[in-house]
Amino acid sequence: MHIPVLQKEVIRYLDPKPNENFVDCTFGCSGHSQAILEKIGPRGKVLAIDWSPEMIKETSGNNLILVCDTYSNLKEIVKNKKFSKVKGIFLDLGMSSWHLADSGRGFSFQKKEPLDMRYSLKNQLTAEKIVNYWSKFDVERILEEYGQEQFAGEIAEKIIEERKNRQIKTTSQLAEIVRKAVPKRYLRQRIHFATKTFQALRIATNNELDNLRDVLPQTLEVLEPGGRLAVISFHSLEDKIVKDFFKKPSLKVLTKKPIAPNLSEIKTNPRARSAKLRAAQKL
């Protein structure tokens, strides 16, 4: 079951009212969109975007407009759908439970799956291509930059060594390579030893940071004056991009410090522990 992260806080900062229009750039399992829809009836609408067609194929509603695309095309999507008077835009930069549990695309190291990690199968790049064909320099770079992995060099070297013998095709293969590359003390850390490697590969495969940099300026073009933007990030690099963007003079920051989930929410939904919500208003 997917539990929307910081749902009450998102609604508080977006402040949706009857008959207003909103854009959910990361529809996922629809939790945040449904909460917004409850506030904007009877004529308000949500334009919901998701890169994975599986996320939107079975959901419908008179006030819900669904688009399968990357949110980096936000301005074009809004134009094509003739969606106007946008009072709020929301982005949840985390994965849905479906991606981890049911997609079969190798987002989790806890089960044996193909090393894919694509949100959209139209994307030509996979995690398998990265680990099997990218140079040691590039593999080490993304592990260090996107995963902030302290043993990036050792893991990259072990990946290059292992792929000489056979292609790295599954999540379990990769997790085992990481296990062999890092010191034994690292295996006993609170965070699983493969977490940062898988995170880095997912970010690189889906070009997540560049997509975020692309969409943020578009939100200012789409939002009405007084409209609000709320972003939940799960990674320090994502949060920095959002924080820096919110320094623009055309935005009023509504969250002086990022909003984090309370202990009760983390206990109910452990995946929420690294979530940070920032919100701003277009002047």
pLDDT 10s digits, 83-133: 999 999 999 998 777 667 777 899 999 889 999 999 999 999 999 999 999
Binning the chain into helix, strand and coil, the percentages to the nearest 5 are: 45, 15, 40
CATH number for the domain harbouring residue 143:
1.10.150.170
Please answer whether residues 64 and 38 qualify as being in contact, where contact means their C-beta atoms are separated by less than 8 angstroms: no
Same domain, residue pair 200 and 213? no
> Is the residue at 244 inside a domain?
yes
**Which CATH number characterizes residue 86's domain?**
3.40.50.150
- Of the listed ranges 22-36, 49-63, 247-261, the least confidently predicted one is 49-63
Last residue of a domain, one of 188, 206, 224: 206
Share of the chain above pLDDT 90, in %: 80
pLDDT on residue 87: 98
Asked if residues 246 and 220 have their Cβ atoms less than 8 Å apart, the reply is no
Q: How much is the average pLDDT of 158-172? A: 97
Find the DSSP H helices in 68-207.
74-80, 97-101, 127-133, 136-145, 152-163, 171-181, 195-206
113 found inside a domain: no
Those residues whose C-beta lies under 8 Å from the C-beta of residue 45, and which sit 6 or more positions away, are 21, 22, 63, 64, 65, 83
* 107 assigned to some structural domain: no
Asked if residue 252 and residue 199 are part of one domain, the reply reads no
154: containing domain? 126-206
pTM for this prediction: 0.91
- pLDDT at residue 2 greater than cutoff 70: no
Give pLDDT, residue 176: 97
Domain C-terminal end among 206, 232, 263: 206
Q: Please state the domain count of the chain.
A: 2
Mean pLDDT value of segment 51-63: 74
pLDDT tens for 197-246 read 999 999 999 999 999 999 999 999 999 999 999 999 999 999 999 999 99
Query: Is residue 37 domain-shared with residue 50, that is, in the same domain?
Result: yes
Rounded distance between C-alpha atoms, residue 226 and residue 34, angstroms: 22
Per-residue model confidence (pLDDT) at position 264: 87
On the question of pLDDT at 145 being above 80, the answer is yes
DSSP secondary structure, 73-102, as one string = GHHHHHHHTT---EEEEEEE-SPPHHHHHT
pLDDT (0 to 100) of residue 74: 98
Long-range contacts of 152-156 (CB under 8 A, 24+ apart): 154/181, 154/182, 155/181, 155/182, 155/197
On whether both 200 and 224 belong to a single domain, the answer is no
3-class DSSP state of 170 = strand
